[in-house]
């Protein structure tokens, strides 16, 4: 699959993988901030942004997508930064291809199997089902403005920040009709697979690794730490205060500082 990407700067490569409902656009601010000595490559993963749509959507396929992309663009020994879904792709890729990666940054997600904390996993799954169902229920044919979509979504998703993030996926075609850049049907059909953890199959990634957690997020728990350390022996975990799951957007300057400090050691 030929993925859409954006490239900023020159130097050693850093590949950034967005999370569920995201796109390369969401990481432009962070990308520009850390592009002083590096080439930043921002991908749209399958079924997101301007990349192709497909009925299949799981971490094995997205890891293969990433490998195909790096081969086709001759990207060698990058540092990979991944948020949420993108973090799981990055973790899987590093475990499958440890010799192809210089370092890893995982943003607010854990490799743990969700069966180990069913209550939290169920909560996250239901949250995402609610979001996807709300997006699918927006009457695109009758929308006159983005504000109409926002009003519609507000009944199911009261948080303004989350709605604004989701509505970045609402586009107009050449005829002015609204459409979702996301492949919502594929995401809906594959949500359970997207909530699964990363099975290391006994492998480890021993390269330099940084996990960044938002203090108000529960995607990385105390129970996650042992799993992280077992699979990523050289991992360090840092917490950014007053941030939730979208830590890079909520505390951008603190996030950039952490990443830059890590890059200086790799």
Q: Which residues are catalytically annotated?
A: 84, 185, 245
Report whether 154 contacts 201 (CB < 8 A): no
Q: Which of 85, 84, 66 is nearest to 15 (CA)?
A: 66
CB 96 within 8 A of CB 29: no
Question: Residue 262 gets which letter from DSSP?
Answer: H
Residue recorded with tokens 């005829």: 175
Q: Both tokens of residue 197?
A: 């953890």
Cα–Cα nearest to 237, from 247, 96, 85, 77: 247
Per DSSP, what are the bridge partners of residue 40?
A: 8, 14
With b for 16 or more beta-carbon neighbours within 10 A and e for fewer, the 25-45 pattern comes to bbbeebbebbbeebbbbbbbb
Q: How far apart are CA 180 and CA 71, in angstroms?
A: 30
CB 161 within 8 A of CB 216: no
């Amino acid at each position: 699959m030929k993925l859409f990407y954006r490239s900023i700067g020159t130097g050693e490569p850093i590949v950034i993988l967005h999370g569920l409902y995201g796109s390369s656009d969401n990481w432009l601010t962070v990308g520009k901030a850390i592009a002083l000595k590096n080439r930043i490559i921002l991908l749209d993963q399958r079924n997101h942004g301007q990349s192709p749509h497909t009925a299949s959507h799981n971490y094995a396929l997205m890891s293969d997508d990433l490998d195909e992309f790096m081969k086709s663009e001759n990207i060698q020994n990058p540092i990979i930064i991944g948020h949420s879904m993108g973090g799981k792709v990055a973790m899987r890729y590093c475990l499958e291809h440890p010799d192809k990666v210089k370092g890893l940054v995982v943003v607010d997600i854990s490799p743990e199997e969700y069966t180990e904390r069913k209550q939290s996993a169920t909560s996250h799954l239901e949250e995402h089902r609610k979001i996807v169902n709300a997006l699918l229920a927006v009457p695109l044919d009758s929308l006159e403005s983005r504000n109409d979509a926002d009003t519609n979504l507000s009944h199911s998703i009261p948080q303004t920040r989350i709605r604004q993030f989701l509505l970045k996926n609402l586009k107009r075609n050449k005829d002015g009709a609204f459409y979702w850049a996301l492949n919502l049907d594929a995401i809906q059909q594959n949500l359970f697979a997207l909530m699964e953890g990363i099975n290391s199959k006994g492998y480890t990634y021993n390269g330099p690794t940084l996990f960044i957690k938002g203090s108000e997020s529960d995607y990385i728990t105390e129970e996650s730490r042992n799993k992280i350390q077992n699979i990523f022996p050289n991992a360090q975990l840092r917490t950014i205060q007053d941030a939730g799951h979208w830590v890079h957007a909520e505390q951008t300057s603190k996030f950039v500082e952490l990443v830059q400090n890590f890059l200086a050691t790799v």
